[in-house]
Amino acid sequence: MFRDSFKYYKSRNPAPDLDDVIDLESPEHVRVRKIEANVSDKQTEDNFGLTSAEKWTIYELLNIPGLIFIQNPFTPNGQRYWITKCLKDYSKEPYKLNIDAHNILANETWWEICFQMSERDKILLPKLRWATLGYHHNWDTKLYSESSKSDMPIELSGLTSILARTLGFSDFKAEAAIVNYYRMNSTLAGHTDHSEMNITAPLFSISFGQTAIFLIGGPKQEDPANAIFLRSGDVIIMSGNSRLRYHGVPKILSASKTPWNDNCENSCENCTYSYDDWRKARTYIAEARININIRQVLEPGQIVLY
């Protein structure tokens, strides 16, 4: 049952045995089908922080039909770009944050206040848990509405559209995103994502920073669940039959590799972020995980919600 597995992996004492966690870095132990990237479009290296798609390793899990896994398709520089974007740009207006309700930010942004090494940032830094972009997910009603939305950041729509086209989901439109910020002791309770009008469109989920144990069950709470490691850069796509399955994050583990630190010479000539920003983001991500969860809300051809 989903709840029992969640408790098992969440437990600190005793710590869980991780032998049964699906590790797609060692796919020989997992029942998978290899998927070839659709590389009909011309793709250049470092497009939105991605390597070129011929190099990607893509699997569908045979036990969870429709669940597609892309093993970290990002360059190290691309990881730094997206981590910095999530921390600096997606954590302020016009996007919505969990900390808006706490009224702790006056005219400052979370990013401006944090990383000053003051007592105040120590308190504020871990308080950021989510940001919503595009159609804002309403956590209470679980509904989207025309009266609560921002533009989608164009670079995030661009990134998602490359991922979607490479997998053959050419009609996908990124209309809403949730950025989840996890500290080492954070969890995300089991849930299904059914608020979107269009539940036939896939859901894209991108992970950066520390490693997650991602738990995915079946359509019902009672169904058994599988645990999967999600590491920095990994992308999963919940499509088809897997789109409405229960899932959650019972545990964050310290990553054994830190690809976001690779090939970083302090010069930053070709970088799309400033070194000062990266220095701050790097301290944050050393003890955190960021997940960007991107959805299509509307039916094909639909222009507004009603």
How many Å apart are CA 164 and CA 134, to the nearest integer?
A: 18
Count Cα atoms within 13 angstroms, Cβ side, for 304. 4
Q: Near Mn ion by CB under 5 A, which window of 61-69, 90-98, 192-200, 273-281?
A: 192-200
How many Å apart are CA 113 and CA 139, to the nearest integer?
A: 26
How many Å apart are CA 250 and CA 101, to the nearest integer?
A: 25
Q: Which residue in 60, 175, 193, 196 binds Mn ion (CB under 5 A)?
A: 193
Q: 137 a known binding residue?
A: no
Nearer of residues 89 and 193 to ligand OGA, judged by Cβ: 193
Q: How does 242-280 read in b/e, with b if 16+ C-beta sit within 10 Å?
A: bbbbbbbbbbbbebeebbbeeeeeeebeebbbeeebbeb
Nearer of residues 10 and 52 to ligand OGA, judged by Cβ: 10
Contact 52, 43 (CB under 8 A): yes
CB of 65 to ligand OGA, least distance (A): 19
Contact 228, 59 (CB under 8 A): no
Nearer of residues 5 and 180 to ligand OGA, judged by Cβ: 180
Contact 169, 202 (CB under 8 A): yes
Q: 193 a known binding residue?
A: yes
CB of 233 to ligand OGA, least distance (A): 13
Nearer of residues 105 and 178 to ligand OGA, judged by Cβ: 178
**Residue 214 interacting partner from Mn ion, ligand OGA, none (CB closer than 5 to 8 Å by kind):** ligand OGA
Q: Near Mn ion by CB under 5 A, which window of 5-13, 151-159, 186-194, 210-218?
A: 186-194
CB of 193 to Mn ion, least distance (A): 4
Nearest to 296 by CA among 168, 204, 233: 204
Instruction: Give the footprint of ligand OGA on this chain (CB under 6 A).
Output: 178, 180, 188, 193, 205, 207, 212, 214, 247, 249, 291, 293
Q: 89 a known binding residue?
A: no
Element holding 267 (H helix, E strand): none
- 89 near Mn ion, rule: CB under 5 A: no
- Binding-site residue positions for Fe cation: 191, 193, 247
